[in-house]
Chain A
Amino acid sequence: MKRITLWFLLLEKRLFKKPLFLAVLLLIPLMVLSLRSMATKETGILSIYLYEEPAEDPTLSESHDLIFLPLLEAGGLLHFEITEDKEAALEAVAKAEADALWVLPADLTAQLARYLQGRGKAPITIYSREETVYLTLAREKMYGLLHELLAQEAAIQQMSLVRDFRKVDKTELRLLYYDLLESNRIPNNLVRVTHLDDADFIGVREGRNYLAGPLRGILALLILLTGFAVTLFFLQDKEAGILDWMPISHKNVFPLLFLLTGVGDAAIVSYAALYVSGAFTTAATELPLMILYIFCVCGFCLLLSRLLPNIWFFGATIPVWLLACLILTPIFIDVSGFPLIQYLLPPYYYLNALHNPLMGQRMLLYAVVVCAAGVCLGRLPRRQ
């Protein structure tokens, strides 16, 4: 044990003698903080201009108050911007600088009332270059707000049609309706969001912004790449005969120790980066997961180096593995349908295991299998 610790420390010393290695490790939290700050800026997958068509009564500004402001406050995937220059906004849409322009009337309630009665044209005008799924979603979001007005107006109109109310003054009926509206208001609480593993948790644990979403995946990828790089280093040392002095009994476990140094360092820095990123959950969840991930990465790299002992072949496959991770693990996109390849990739387990206990068990099994296979394959006699 003493000898192993000594080797471990010597290997660490060798790595830390490279100032650029330390600089790269320090760059990781910096990158995370930059991404986090970027995610707090105003952004969206769609950019929509909102314009209020002036009404005859210049004091009216219903669309601005009832629709535009709630849309701006809601945040989320869509980016809204109020404009007072319709022509400039139209030009921006034409130049693809914005995705759509919504034109709503200032006397929105009156226009919606006319629409419900089947009179007049469609109250809202939408300018866009093409119809996309995201624009449809954006309209649904606006409809969520419009429906409140429509529902109220439809209820008032419904009462006006009833024979019992024909003699009642319409303004009086409307005023009474709005008086009683507040006392009947039901909060928007019909849907609660929870995670797969934690039915008691309601809300959003991860950073909501999709720009910060890939942070955890990028960190996982960096740890994996450190594993690849350390393996290359090891293969280089092996080729140069630096490890020839080692007793045969230690030769099979030593590569794992070698891998643990660099991967461990990257994992510690990534853990710290995760802690400041805002995507950190709890230490009780994150720490075991990270430790397990270290072994998954070390085992995977060790096994791969046993199967591809030629340094050039091993190194040449690195971009392929990284591309596979970028596409087939949920870092940027979720792609399903390639389970055989996905189950080979350590980040796939790490990213899914956070909220999925079953995947955590699979991750443990994976770590055991790849580490054992890596060590056992080293025992096989090589053809001379």
Chain B
Amino acid sequence: MMKLRWQYLKTQIHRMLMRFPVLFLVTILLLGAICGLAWAQFTAGKDEEDFQSLARQKVSVAVVGDTSESYLGIGIYAVEHMDSSRFSVNFIDCTEEEARAMLEAEEVEAYLLIPEGFLDAVTTAENKPVTLVIGGNQGGIGVELVRELADMVSRVLTSSQTAIYTLVDVEANYGRNAYDSKDVTQINLRYFDVILSREEMYQKETVESVRTLSRIEYYACAGVVLFLLLWGLNGTLLLTKRDFSLPKLIRTRGVGAVSQVTAELFAYSLVLLLCLALCVGGLLFGLSKAGVSFSLPGPSESAPSFLLGLFPLVFSMAALQYFLCQLSDNPIVTLLVTLLVSLVLGYLSGCFYFLSYFPKEVQELQVYLPTGMQVNLLQSAFLEKDAAFCIKGLTGYTFLFWLCSVLIRGYRLKK
């Protein structure tokens, strides 16, 4: 009986390895896509600021309107180049057709349509609103940033207007014409001065912090988990069983649900680990050949110990995916379930957005999610923190998914 179990395990490993070339090709394609995007982000930016702009933090806004005629051009130049704004907004002067084309091509987040005689209207309080045209995409962070900035600009302009007209009224009360006396010009210049030097209002103190993850480190951890989650879609083809005649046959020879599930799960984990190891190894080799300096997370900073540290992550992920594939014998259903679960878990675990962007309840929940623990395990390697909780949790999840799979297989074998 023991021999038959070994035989089944070897068959499963053989079955998985038969598909390995295709799976590995996909792995390379997936990795290539992720690395290509990351490479584009890194190489295009010379420094951290440029990198951040490429990470869609710097917002590009097209400006339509005659900016040469009045102070408007100066204002836009000032907002673009002076102090803090140059890190967040990039204005592009163009015609409406060009702006529309750029927005359609997603080269800009939005465009500003400045009406003719805008400044004259502002000076006479007959405000002609500036139109901020946004594209048709989802309410992403870039568009929200533009909205916030537009609101701030509008607020600054209207509160300046209010203050100036009140000054004119007060002076009129004392029989003085604020326009003739150039008081309005003076106060306008004063406002320019105040706006341009607004950063001087703040005394900035840097807080000595505990070691936290950089953006790149954070996305590296999230990227590994996302990669494994998506890789799991391959598993649906490998693991979804439509024909149970062989499992039923070997059950009569003593290889029951426990042995079958253990053998299949082990073989699948092995392929997953192999793909990940080859990717990590390839990446490290490529980086070292390219002369890029890096240090691996973990106490020994060596590739084998790093990969050893990934064991709980790989086995728990394999167990999760294996379990999902046992839920149905229909590949449509297992594919849909796997994607749905992968997207929801990936989303809630901070693989798409920073976890700090989510409500507190989600942040608290993330710690207990299997994918959350996987992300946290990787992060703790970077932060050199104790990962005992994550390892215990992932071991527990691996056992739970294995147990559920055994129960489902047992039920199927008896049917």
Contacts and interface: CB of A to CB of B under 8 A. Distances in A.
B192 to A, nearest CB: 11
Contacts of A181: 162-163, 166
A170 interface: no
Contact of B230 (A191, A213, A319, A351): A319
B207 A188 contact: no
Interface stretch (A120-128, A244-252, A368-376): A120-128
Residue from B84, B162, B187 having most chain A Cβ neighbours under 10 A: B162
B194 interface: yes
Given A229-B336, A320-B29, A196 B136 contact: yes
A216 B330 CA distance: 26
A229 B163 CA distance: 64
A290 interface: no
Contacts of B237: 232, 311-312, 315-316
A378 interface: no
A153 to B, nearest CB: 9
Given A21-B333, A130-B206, A152-B163, A191 B153 contact: yes
Contact of A196 (B34, B103, B152, B186): B103
B250 interface: no
A226 B332 contact: yes
Contact of B337 (A24, A99, A228, A355): A24
Contact of B187 (A158, A221, A330): A158
Contacts of B80: none
Interface string A183-217: 11111111111111101000010111111111111
A316 B234 CA distance: 6
A196 B240 CA distance: 45
A127 to B, nearest CB: 5
A354 B176 CA distance: 56
Contact of B202 (A139, A151, A228): A139
B67 to A, nearest CB: 16
Interface residues of A, number: 141
B153 A190 contact: yes
A292 interface: no
B335 A162 contact: no
A331 B138 contact: yes
A216 B84 CA distance: 34
Interface in B351-368: 352-354, 356-362
Residue from A15, A129, A147, A222 having most chain B Cβ neighbours under 10 A: A147
B123 interface: no
A221 B336 CA distance: 10
Nearest to B57: A133
B131 A352 contact: no
Given A122-B200, A155-B187, A222-B340, A319 B212 contact: no
B160 A151 contact: yes
Contacts of B30: 319-320, 323
Interface in B15-32: 19, 22-23, 25-26, 29-30
A316 B18 CA distance: 13
B125 interface: yes
Nearest to A22: B333
B357 A210 contact: yes
B156 A143 contact: yes
B203 A126 contact: yes
A358 interface: yes
Contacts of A57: none
B330 A20 contact: yes
Contacts of A7: none
Interface in B198-254: 198-210, 212, 230-231, 233-234, 236-237, 242
A133 B170 contact: no
Interface string B113-143: 0000000001001010111111111111110
A176 B84 contact: no
B107 interface: yes
Contacts of A121: 203
Interface in B313-341: 327-328, 330-333, 335-337, 339-340
28 contacts: A31-B344, A42-B360, A43-B359, A45-B357, A93-B209, A125-B204, A126-B202, A137-B88, A147-B198, A150-B194, A155-B164, A158-B187, A162-B183, A177-B167, A184-B166, A190-B154, A190-B158, A191-B131, A191-B151, A193-B150, A195-B136, A221-B339, A226-B332, A232-B335, A236-B242, A262-B332, A330-B140, A333-B56
Given A181-B166, A229-B331, 15 more contacts: A24-B336, A24-B337, A42-B359, A139-B199, A190-B130, A206-B138, A213-B140, A218-B343, A226-B332, A232-B237, A313-B22, A336-B107, A339-B105, A351-B138, A352-B104
